[in-house]
Chain A
Amino acid sequence: MGAKIGMWLFLLTELLLFGGMFLIYGAYRYMNNEDFHAAGQGMNTIIGAFNTVILLTSSLTVAMSITALQKGNKRLSITLLGFTIFFAVWFLINKYFEWSHEIRNGIYPKSPELLNRSQGEILFFGLYYVMTGIHGIHVIIGIVILSFMVSFIARDKVTPADYSKLENSGLYWHLVDIIWIFLFPLFYLLR
């Protein structure tokens, strides 16, 4: 029981960490509305939407994996976690293509192309790289945690009788998903 309270409290701090960045985004958007608008035009909404679907699905597979373990189906639980990890990697691959596309177009911190643009656009892309970057780091951490869970279940360290570790990892993964659901409209839809 204690473990679950602890996990919720930790997720609260994670939310506040991103909350700080959302606050900065809000402040700068308020100050540079036009520029943010213009910068948002260039974003690839299709990839963004696609990634949203991928993450939502991965949240589903994690939840199903927990249920599977509860019901005593070890194999299925591991398979579903495998799918989650697969989706997570896929998300990162898409992100990689997206970022390299921008970078090839000369848009990255301190690039001459970007420095030529308005200050609001510099801020928009600065925030874009920082916020999706930090979110990406969370995805990587999630992959590591979920891989540990796979090995724990395989070695019966996480069992149908004691699955709180898996439950907490699931909660963490949902958080990663939820944060993306906020990032998506801020960078891809608000234009």
Chain B
Amino acid sequence: MADHVIHGNYVDFYDEKGPHKGILAWILTTDHKRIGLMYLIALTTFFCIGATIGVLMRLEMLTQGRTIMGPQTYNSLFTLHGLIMIFLFVIPGIPAVFGNFFLPIMLGAKDVAFPRLNLLSWWLYITGGVFAVLSLFLAGGPIDTGWTFYVPYSLRTGTDVSWMILAAFILGFSSILTGLNFITTIHRLRAPGMGWFRMPLFAWSLYATAWIQLIATPIVGITLALVAIERLFGVGLFDPALGGDPILYQHMFWIYSHPAVYIMILPAMGVVSEIIPTFAHRTIFGYKAVAISSLAIAFVGYFVWGHHMFSSGMSDTSRWIFSLFTFLVAIPSAVKVFNWTATLYKGSIDLQAPLLFVLAFIFVFSIGGLTGLVLGALATDIHLTDTYFVVAHFHFVVFGGTGFIFFAALHYWFPKMFGKLYNDNVAKVAVSLITLGFLMLYFTFFILGYEGMPRRYYDYLPQYHGLHVFATVGSWVMISGFIVMFINLFKAFKSGKRAGMNPWGGMTLEWTVPSPPPLENFEEIPVITHGPYDYHAQEEAKEKQEEFNHSAEDEK
């Protein structure tokens, strides 16, 4: 379909003239699509910085002893790498970029419920990011506590923890406002006829995520604030020297940070549930089960935080209860994976780059999930905790999960966002390189961890040398994949072929508006008459149309 057929007079949101000009037309915009793109630029920038730091860490591990940096630098780098990747990339990640851009369109709305609040969220995100970067240059040097800010070390270190905490606090605020905005949007702005069970699964996943953002973030906010207050005034709430309890800090921290894992992964699962029906040309198997399992994951996710503390001193009873609950999360997660596989089964599969990312995701994420059970079991966790096994596990889940799907979503929606097509073959090469490098890098970590290599060490014993070299080479393969991917997308952005309205044959509402969409998305708010992935109804309609055409021809 060529877009000139549909709208002679349409102006896309890039060309729309607002009250402001130049850069101001962007940084003061309240258009959800522009805000989504501004998040995209910021997030990919932070991803590239974080990835560079990761590669530098790997380079340090190439040989035994000091290779390119000393231990203090290494401590700062793994802290920064973790902080950037977690707080600036994967937590805001998919909701901030693709949620902002697509949620209103998928619901048939003109914008989110609170457009100005949305802009404020972006500004808070940028402020938080700038503060995080600024803290590197303050007295004391880059923070070295690890991204978890564990007390009592975070109370004692000379590096400037308070600034970084302020940054995290502001980022948390931004996250809360986004969640609040999305919940209200979903409750209030669905198009006429779109009942809850006619909502796209991506919207469902954002709904579940938004509740976690809202309920969990304030608790870590106050916990981190207390660490800062403690450093500034010496109140002593977590300081064991003054009667405070460091274990209590860990509880408070993980009460948020475990659910935060679902803030990262649920939206990714939502994207997967969009991509699979589109490329299998088939209604998703078990729509309701997939929708509800998001809420179930969000709910159970609140009761498992203790699995991060099996080895830090808890009663045996709490240990096995947390272990049990951890196992329960596997059930709704498996529901999703089985439903995806069942949808693909007997679908007419169109193996394009976004789907390739998704297949890589299912493979990698399943390994991540299963090794999660290994860590959720008490006996094995005691052996594996604080080793590279844990590092491997969370990269499989967080990077292989959210990271991969972030880029899958970028490829899936690229034609809609920019109105351009990228080179699909190059994209496939990029996916393959990334996945191959990923497995070389992180699967090796499982073995290293199993053999006893501790995490957060800048040096190692001779027996680990071979595996470290292999992993480091893997990091180079992976990075070259990312470079290929970014160049491909950038070229498409500059000079790609024009994309039509619906290059993949998707069924949700965003594929019914022009690419790129006009300022308020819809000329007329659509009326919804069936579920979001009704390929069946579509087929029938097509057949009827053909029959009609035939009989019309016969009559001639």
Contacts and interface: CB of A to CB of B under 8 A. Distances in A.
Given A20-B223, A122-B242, A122-B243, A13 B235 contact: no
A10 B245 contact: no
A60 interface: no
A93 interface: no
A127 B184 CA distance: 35
B284 to A, nearest CB: 29
Contact of A1 (B188, B237, B244): B188
Contacts of B223: 20
Contacts of A1: 188
Secondary structure of the A side of the interface? Answer: helix
A3 to B, nearest CB: 8
Contacts of A144: none
B221 interface: yes
B215 to A, nearest CB: 6
Interface in B209-246: 214-215, 217-219, 221-223, 226, 229, 233-237, 242-245
Given A1-B188, A2-B114, A24-B252, A123 B237 contact: yes
Residue among A5, A6, A27, A115 with the highest chain B CB neighbour number at 10 A: A6
B245 A13 contact: no
B113 interface: yes
Contacts of A27: 245, 248
A2 B185 CA distance: 8
A17 B221 contact: yes
Given A17-B219, A31-B245, A126 B237 contact: yes
A119 B117 CA distance: 44
Contacts of B188: 1-2, 5
Given A17-B219, A122-B243, A126-B237, A9 B114 contact: no
B236 A16 contact: no
A115 B215 CA distance: 36
Contacts of A120: 243
Contact of B218 (A6, A14, A109, A115): A14
Given A17-B219, A126-B242, A6 B237 contact: no
B236 A9 contact: no
Query: Which size class do B's interface residues fall under?
Result: 20 to 34
Interface in A31-69: 31-32
Interface in A107-124: 109-110, 115, 118-120, 122-123
A154 interface: no
B190 to A, nearest CB: 12
Given A109-B233, A126-B237, A130-B235, A6 B222 contact: no
A141 interface: no
A129 interface: yes
B218 A13 contact: yes
B43 interface: no
Contacts of B236: 109-110, 122-123, 126
B234 A109 contact: yes
B183 A32 contact: no
B183 A9 contact: yes
Contact of A20 (B218, B229, B242): B218
Nearest to B215: A16
Nearest to B176: A13
A21 interface: yes
A23 interface: yes
B184 A2 contact: yes
A28 B237 CA distance: 9
Contacts of B218: 13-14, 16-17, 19-20
Given A2-B114, A14-B218, A17-B221, A32 B243 contact: yes
A143 B131 CA distance: 28
A12 interface: yes
A123 B221 contact: no
Contacts of B226: 24, 130
Contacts of A115: 242
B477 to A, nearest CB: 43
Nearest to B220: A20
Nearest to A110: B234
B219 A20 contact: yes
Contacts of A127: 237
A123 B242 CA distance: 8
Q: For the complex of A and B, list the 10 residue pairs with the smallest distance between their C-beta atoms, beginning with the closest.
A: A119-B243, A110-B234, A17-B218, A16-B218, A126-B235, A20-B222, A20-B219, A2-B113, A13-B218, A109-B235
21 contacts: A2-B188, A5-B183, A6-B184, A10-B176, A12-B214, A12-B215, A13-B214, A13-B215, A16-B218, A19-B218, A24-B252, A27-B245, A109-B234, A109-B235, A109-B236, A110-B233, A110-B236, A120-B243, A122-B236, A123-B244, A130-B235
Interface of A: 1-3, 5-6, 9-10, 12-14, 16-21, 23-24, 27-28, 31-32, 109-110, 115, 118-120, 122-123, 126-127, 129-130
Interface of B: 113-114, 117, 176, 180-181, 183-184, 187-189, 214-215, 217-219, 221-223, 226, 229, 233-237, 242-245, 248, 252
Given A3-B114, A110-B233, A130-B237, 16 more contacts: A2-B189, A5-B188, A9-B180, A9-B183, A9-B184, A17-B218, A17-B222, A18-B222, A24-B248, A28-B237, A109-B235, A110-B234, A119-B243, A126-B235, A129-B233, A130-B229
